[in-house]
Amino acid sequence: MKEKVMEALKQVFYPSKTHSVIKEGIIDDVEVKGSKVLVKIKTEEKNQGVIDMLKRSIPAALKRIEGIEDVELEIEKVVEEKEKVANIRYVIATTSGKGGVGKSTVSVNLAISLAKLGFKTGLLDADIYGPNIPTMMGIEGSPVQVDKEHKDKILPMEKYGVKILSIGNMVPKDAAIIWRGPLIHSAIKQFLEDVTWGDLDFLVVDLPPGTGDAQISLTDATKVSGGIIVITPQHVAMSDAAKANDFFKKLKIPVLGVVENMSYFVCPNCGTKTEIFSHGGGKKFAAENSLPFLGEIPIDLEVREGGDKGTPVVVKNPDSPVSKAFEDAARNIVEKIKVLNS
């Protein structure tokens, strides 16, 4: 008799679909006792109208079988578990009080250095108005793709061992983005939640200059494990760095430390060291504010060229002193974050 019931169920169409309730996979079990059938259904169906239709169509079909008089349905609604697409251990954000000090350059080279140290690393470009990450990572002009396995999610790009997401890969190059705060807010939230980042040890977030919407949105959307202040060494950079530090303090984000960028210049021909923007400002600032000092990055032609050409210096010339400086800073970050979270 059970076979007859199963055969009959194969003829019952699932409402709004072109296949049967069997193919839909909602029939969990069928028990036949004499002239009575119990059909156990497990479904994620949210539409009550569909459930009501099944309550009519299944008994109607089964009662047509000779010898079946009574049909009972037991319907268990399964709550669809939201697929966890991101499992990010540490979100770290680079910021500075003002623009042009090398936040994006530092973010890119640190992210790659972290990946080279064996950490699963992502890089999120949160500079909505001026996304530079696609150029610096050499993925300019490649549009983002929808994740085929999670059709409502974005697939991050991947380059140099780092998963990357930037609005620069979603809008035409050179298009001005004129969004107000709320849109930036929802974009950043989506960049964290609707992207299949997968398991990451670090997500490095490159923030725009200053202390605006993107910064606030990021801290609203997720726990930021640590902030990195990028500073240039000259005296006037101090007050900008102080603003960045104050900002992290207000948002209760622990500061992992200070990176001094454009620290000095070593002449490639004669080896003379020149401190173009003075030197040691970052170290001094860190000491005065009881912050860790993560490292100093020299001014280097390869850094600028690497950024413009999409081949960051830590990829192009991994053994150069500047690449070693980035690697040291990355190691320091790992150490500091472990201490903070221990």
Ligand X SMILES: Nc1ncnc2c1ncn2[C@@H]1O[C@H](COP(=O)(O)OP(=O)(O)OP(=O)(O)O)[C@@H](O)[C@H]1O
Binding site for ligand X (CB under 6 A): 96, 99-105, 127, 130, 132, 208-209, 261-262, 297, 299-300, 303-304, 307
By CB under 5 A, the residues from 110 to 139 that bind Mg ion are 132
Nearer to Mg ion by Cβ, of 31 and 305: the residue is 305
Nearer to ligand X by Cβ, of 168 and 208: the residue is 208
Q: How far is the CB of 99 from ligand X (least distance, A)?
A: 3
Q: How far is the CB of 146 from ligand X (least distance, A)?
A: 28
* Cβ atoms 39, 91 nearer than 8 A: no
Residue 307 interacting entry, from Mg ion, ligand X, none, C-beta within 5 to 8 Å by type: ligand X
- 313: nearest Cα among 115, 95, 113: 113
Q: How far is the CB of 317 from Mg ion (least distance, A)?
A: 22
Q: Token pair for residue 298?
A: 């020299």
Residue 300 interacting entry, from Mg ion, ligand X, none, C-beta within 5 to 8 Å by type: ligand X
Residue 138 amino acid letter: G
If one asks whether residue 261 binds Mg ion (CB under 5 A), the answer comes out as no
Nearer to ligand X by Cβ, of 27 and 262: the residue is 262
Residue 232 interacting entry, from Mg ion, ligand X, none, C-beta within 5 to 8 Å by type: none
Q: How far is the CB of 220 from ligand X (least distance, A)?
A: 21
Q: Alpha-carbon distance 303 to 185, whole Å?
A: 31
Residue 303 interacting entry, from Mg ion, ligand X, none, C-beta within 5 to 8 Å by type: ligand X
Q: How far is the CB of 94 from Mg ion (least distance, A)?
A: 9
First to last CA, the chain: 63
DSSP letters, 298-317, are: EE-HHHHHHHHHT--HHHH-
CB burial of 59-92 (b: ≥16 within 10 Å; e: otherwise) equals bebbeebeebeebeeeeeeeeeeeeebbebebbb
Nearer to ligand X by Cβ, of 61 and 214: the residue is 214
Which CA distances in Å does 144 have to 134, 147, 171, 186, 221? 11, 9, 10, 18, 22
Residue 208 amino acid letter: P
Neighbour count for residue 48 (Cβ, 10 Å): 9
Q: How far is the CB of 116 from ligand X (least distance, A)?
A: 18
Residue 105 interacting entry, from Mg ion, ligand X, none, C-beta within 5 to 8 Å by type: ligand X
Nearer to ligand X by Cβ, of 130 and 198: the residue is 130
Ordered alpha helix ranges (H), 179-316 = 181-193, 213-221, 237-250, 281-288, 301-309, 313-316
Residue 297 interacting entry, from ligand X, Mg ion, none, C-beta within 5 to 8 Å by type: ligand X
Nearer to ligand X by Cβ, of 127 and 201: the residue is 127
If one asks whether residue 109 binds Mg ion (CB under 5 A), the answer comes out as no
Nearer to Mg ion by Cβ, of 104 and 261: the residue is 104
Tell me the Ramachandran region of residue 212: left when phi exceeds 0, alpha when psi lies from -120 to 50, beta otherwise: beta
Contacts of residue 320, Cβ cutoff 8 Å, sequence gap at least 6 = 300, 302, 313
* Cβ atoms 195, 166 nearer than 8 A: no
* The binder of Mg ion chosen from 94, 95, 104, 215 (CB under 5 A): 104
Q: How far is the CB of 93 from ligand X (least distance, A)?
A: 12
Q: How far is the CB of 237 from ligand X (least distance, A)?
A: 11
Binding site for Mg ion (CB under 5 A): 103-104, 132
